[in-house]
C-alpha cells in the first residue's frame, strides 16, 4: 500500500473525511484549509515528516519508531 492510500484508509477508518481533517489541521496546526492542497501532497509524495506527525495527531495516532529485529 502506498502512503497516499494508507493515509486515506486511516481517515476513513476514523469515520471522518478529508474536508474535516483539513479543517482540523487548519485550526489546530495552521495548515491551509484546502483539500486539494493535502490531496496533491499525498499524490506527489511531498508530505513533510512534520506534516505527517500533525496529520497523525488530528487522527488520534502517534508515529512510533521501533527498531527492527536483526536478520542473521
Whether the Cβ atoms of residue 7 and residue 54 lie closer than 8 Å to each other: no
Q: Read off the DSSP letter of residue 72.
A: -
Rounded distance, CA 14 to CA 30, Å?
21
The reported pTM is 0.85
Query: What's the pLDDT tens digit per position in 7-52?
Result: 999 999 999 999 999 999 999 999 999 999 999 999 999 999 999 9
What's the grid cell of residue 43?
499524490
Amino acid at each position: 500500500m502506498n502512503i497516499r492510500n494508507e493515509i486515506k484508509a486511516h481517515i476513513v477508518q476514523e469515520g471522518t473525511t478529508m474536508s474535516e481533517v483539513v479543517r482540523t489541521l487548519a485550526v489546530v496546526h495552521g495548515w491551509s484549509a484546502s483539500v486539494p492542497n493535502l490531496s496533491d501532497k499525498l499524490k506527489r509524495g511531498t508530505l513533510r515528516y512534520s506534516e505527517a506527525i500533525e496529520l497523525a495527531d488530528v487522527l488520534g495516532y502517534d508515529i512510533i519508531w521501533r527498531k527492527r529485529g536483526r536478520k542473521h
